[in-house]
Chain A
């Protein structure tokens, strides 16, 4: 028996390693699924400014040609520039301003998206959780559109040693869940603040609430009340894993049927030694 013990230990350690890798892959896959589910909203968010830019570009090219023709003609005749030229110039200035806003809109969505899918560098670094929350909110808003009003109350936060990409997933997951808990129109309130030596983030919705009989199972892998294609049943299980195992924090919720649910995430400012 004792001769086999080292073999068993090695075997267990291989299994543990395989499990850890599988978990990482599961988190990654789930994350891609959740971003994929937001894709329709993101496409919508980007299509509007792109439509504007494409149209403005055509109008600008045409206007510049007309402007050039008019100015050339005026110059040849020794006449002052025609009044229409000034009008065209005003339009062009206007369109350039619109293009700037449109480009900023697209860039901001892409920037948020990049923080979620930018490589697999899951590493601990100092980050501001408010910024991570903002990026998650930006993507969630694409989905919420006019259906859900978002209110934010962000407190001053110290930088926290964390895996920003994974925490972004947790926040996005909680926000999307909050949106899905609201049947028609409602409100999601996101708060952040410092309590003792932890940053506390809360996501509150005015949704249907979690029925008491489901509360004990809500973090269990595979548990979902959503139809197939909407929920994977892994979001909260993986969020718990990321918050508790990776960051040494805690996650919990309070819910009242018919009133709504609030999720709390607590992340210690200094990570426990084993984290990372």
Chain B
């Protein structure tokens, strides 16, 4: 089921120029579906409805900062890889974020396209593996329930 669509990358930055640049780059180099937003609230609305593999967010934005956004997106889509892309020189806040919202990666501006693409690819792979794992666990649970059911039916048949 997950193979039916191209991976989705969501980018959130209050700077339109960053979105244009990343969009142009990813469109040229990949087949990913790229969704970009200047407004974090709108990005969250999308994440409520559409599965994404990677979420990239700026740190300093009006109304909601990147860590708050990534924390909320974790609730919505725990498997998606969360990446903080920031020009903020404060390393400590990034380290705090890694611990608090389970960041997949922290990328500093100005970013390197090749390095960023590698991080995104790994993020997608991780998200797909996690989703597959979850679906396998689900299948296992179902099989286990079926087995238990069959077992109790067997016991009942013999009693």
Residues of A within 8 A of B (CB): 40, 43-45, 47-56, 58-59, 62-63, 66, 91, 94-95, 98, 101-102, 145-146
Contacts A44-B87, A146-B62; is A51 near B24 (CB within 8 Å)? no
The docked-state distance in angstroms from the alpha carbon of A163 to that of B6 is: 61
Q: Which of B60, B61, B108 has most A Cβ within 10 Å? A: B60
Chain B neighbourhood of A50, CB < 8 A: 109-110
Contact A91 B24, beta carbon cutoff 8 Å:
yes
Please report whether the interface of chain A is mostly helix, strand, loop or mixed according to DSSP. helix
Contact B17 A102 (CB under 8 A): yes
- In the complex where A51-B18, A95-B20, A98-B17 touch, is A58 in contact with B60 (Cβ < 8 A)? no
- For the complex, what is the distance from the CA of A40 to the CA of B29, rounded to whole Å? 33
Given known contacts A49-B17, A52-B20, A146-B61, A59 and B87 CB-to-CB distance under 8 angstroms: no
Residues of chain A contacted by B20 (CB below 8 angstroms): 52, 94-95, 98
Q: What are 23 inter-chain pairs, A to B, with CB distance below 8 A?
A: A40-B88, A43-B87, A43-B89, A44-B88, A44-B89, A47-B109, A47-B110, A48-B17, A48-B18, A48-B109, A48-B110, A51-B18, A51-B21, A51-B87, A51-B110, A52-B17, A52-B18, A52-B21, A54-B110, A54-B111, A58-B113, A62-B29, A95-B20
In the complex, are the beta carbons of A47 and B87 less than 8 A apart? yes
Q: Using Cβ atoms and an 8 Å threshold, which residues of chain B touch A91?
A: 24, 27-28
Q: Is B32 an interface residue (CB 8 A)?
A: no
Q: How far is the CA of A54 from the CA of B82 in the complex (A)?
A: 23
Find A95's partner among B21, B63, B110, B112 (CB 8 Å cutoff): B21
Distance (Å) between the CB of B64 and the closest chain A CB?
10
**Residue in A49, A51, A146 with the greatest tally of chain B CB atoms within 10 Å:** A51
Contact B87 A48 (CB under 8 A): yes
Chain A nearest Cβ from B148, distance in angstroms? 55
Residue numbers in A under 8 Å from B62 (CB-CB): 146
Kindly identify, within residues 1 to 54 of chain B, every residue whose CB is under 8 Å from any CB belonging to chain A. 15, 17-18, 20-22, 24-25, 27-29
Rounded to whole Å, the gap between the CB of B116 and the closest CB of chain A is: 8
Residues in A whose Cβ lies below 8 Å from that of B27: 91
Give the complex CA separation of A224 and B20 in angstroms: 45
Give the Cβ gap from A267 to chain B, nearest Cβ, in Å.
Answer: 35
